[in-house]
Amino acid sequence: IYQGILPDVPHLPADRKRLWTYFKLWPNFAFDIYPDQVDFMQFIPVSATQTLIREIAYALPDDRREMKAARYLNWRINRQVNAEDTELVARVQEGMASKSFTAGPLATSEVSLRSFGRKMRHLIPEARLNRPPTGW
């Protein structure tokens, strides 16, 4: 429905008029570029198991009914994805607390997570271990 309702955005090049692009800036900043708006996110760890997410969207003024509907649908899609991600992260955290937890593979499509993991293993060698070091 989003793709069908999204109006033309004349200031965008043709190859960007229907493209959603995501940028992740190490270690805790991201922005998502959509034809209808740009979202900025900052991830702030508040404990070993919790993160605060600050998010805001910006958009050019556009009073067209179709653009308002596209922006609503964009947020609706992203709310659903965020809810799925939140559930997934909660289940992973729960699993990590189990004594039977072992690190597993990430899908090749998880480019940002794989990159983040590589950086963490480089900065924190203990992150390479299959189990937490004794005393943690």
Residue 11 contacts residue 67 (beta carbons within 8 Å): no
Ordered by start, the domain boundaries in the chain are 2-101
What pTM does this model have?
0.79
pLDDT (tens digit, 9 = 90+) per residue, 75-95? Answer: 999 999 999 988 988 888 888
Q: Compute the Cα dihedral for 96, 101, 103, 105 and give only its sign.
A: negative
CA gap 64, 70 in Å, rounded:
10
The first and second tokens of residue 67, run together, are 């653009």
For residue 129, what are the CA distances in angstroms to 98, 120, 126, 133? 15, 12, 6, 8
What residues have CB less than 8 Å from 62, skipping those under 6 apart?
36, 68
pLDDT tens for the chain, 136 residues: list them: 999 999 999 999 999 999 999 999 988 999 999 999 999 999 999 988 889 999 999 999 999 999 999 999 999 999 999 999 889 888 888 887 888 877 777 788 888 888 888 898 899 888 888 777 777 6
